[in-house]
Amino acid sequence: MQKLIDFLQRFGELVVFAARAVGSLARRPFEVRETIRQIAEIGYASLPLITAAGLSVGAVMSMHTRASLERFGAEALIPAALAIAMIRETGPLVTGLLVAGRVGASIGAELGAMRVTEQIDALETLAVDSFKFLAVSRILACMIALPILTTVMDFTGILGGFVVETAISNMSFELYFQQAFSGVGFADFITSTLKTTVFGFIIGTIGSFIGYTASGGSAGVGRASTQSVVFSSISLIVVNVVLVRVIFFLFPEMQ
């Protein structure tokens, strides 16, 4: 019972933290330099991971799609089926979860270490708004980086599918991509990719909140890192369900 109360209290604090972050996103002073640094740290440095994962996921999905569609003699649909699956759902979700692992852990650990070694207090005594400097810059960087990383994941995924497909059926590059994009509307791409801005907000906010409120020395830093990954991954999966419902409601033609 006490555990439930503690959890609800923490959750309430998280909501307040998130609301404060939303309120700060558009208010001066903007920590432009720090935000750009974080986009590089979070976005650019995740590119190898996202590219490798995209190629592999695309290749595997292509093999499965082929196995299913072959039975109905519908091999011609393979590129389109893969592209739709990748762009609508697999790309956004896999990117979100990979970033939640890589970036969520590092935000939780870095801010946690800064909290327990009083570096956050030191920022404050140097007349710097530590919330904006540390948390808001990271949240904003995640929100900007995720749609870009997702787009990279989508394309490398389709590319991975092409590699498998051309090895089996000798399909040409032009034909594959022409067929792949025949089934994908621009609305598909925009809605599913912009959705990941919300994923970025979740990852940045939960990581920052847990790190910012960490306590208890280096053990506390380890806990903060783990909790950031666990809670941002779970929240992301759950919120995704809601977002998909909302998108279908707003754009019924996508069903």
Query: Cα separations (Å) of 37 from 32, 44, 74, 83, 141?
Result: 9, 10, 48, 33, 9
Query: Are 82 and 65 in contact, with CB atoms under 8 Å apart?
Result: yes
- Least spacing, CB of residue 44 vs other proteins, in Å: 17
- Least spacing, CB of residue 164 vs other proteins, in Å: 42
Rounded to whole angstroms, how far apart are CA atoms 76 and 91?
Answer: 22
Place of tokens 């792949």: 180
- Least spacing, CB of residue 9 vs other proteins, in Å: 14
Residues that bind other proteins (CB under 8 A): 113, 117-119, 121-129
Q: Which is nearer to other proteins, 13 or 118 (CB)?
A: 118
Q: Which is nearer to other proteins, 110 or 154 (CB)?
A: 110
Q: Which is nearer to other proteins, 50 or 113 (CB)?
A: 113
Q: Which is nearer to other proteins, 29 or 252 (CB)?
A: 29
- Least spacing, CB of residue 226 vs other proteins, in Å: 21
- Least spacing, CB of residue 231 vs other proteins, in Å: 25
Q: Which is nearer to other proteins, 75 or 129 (CB)?
A: 129
Rounded to whole angstroms, how far apart are CA atoms 165 and 212?
Answer: 47
Rounded to whole angstroms, how far apart are CA atoms 167 and 210?
Answer: 47
Token pair of 222 as six digits: 């380890």
Query: Are 114 and 254 in contact, with CB atoms under 8 Å apart?
Result: no
Cβ neighbourhood burial of 254 (10 Å; 0-12, 13-18, 19+):
middle
Rounded to whole angstroms, how far apart are CA atoms 49 and 106?
Answer: 15
Q: Which is nearer to other proteins, 185 or 220 (CB)?
A: 220
- Least spacing, CB of residue 121 vs other proteins, in Å: 5
Q: Which is nearer to other proteins, 193 or 208 (CB)?
A: 208
Question: In the chain, which residue ranges form alpha helices assigned H by DSSP?
Answer: 2-25, 32-42, 47-71, 78-85, 91-99, 105-116, 119-125, 130, 137-169, 173-182, 186-212, 217-250
Rounded to whole angstroms, how far apart are CA atoms 193 and 110?
Answer: 28
- Least spacing, CB of residue 178 vs other proteins, in Å: 48
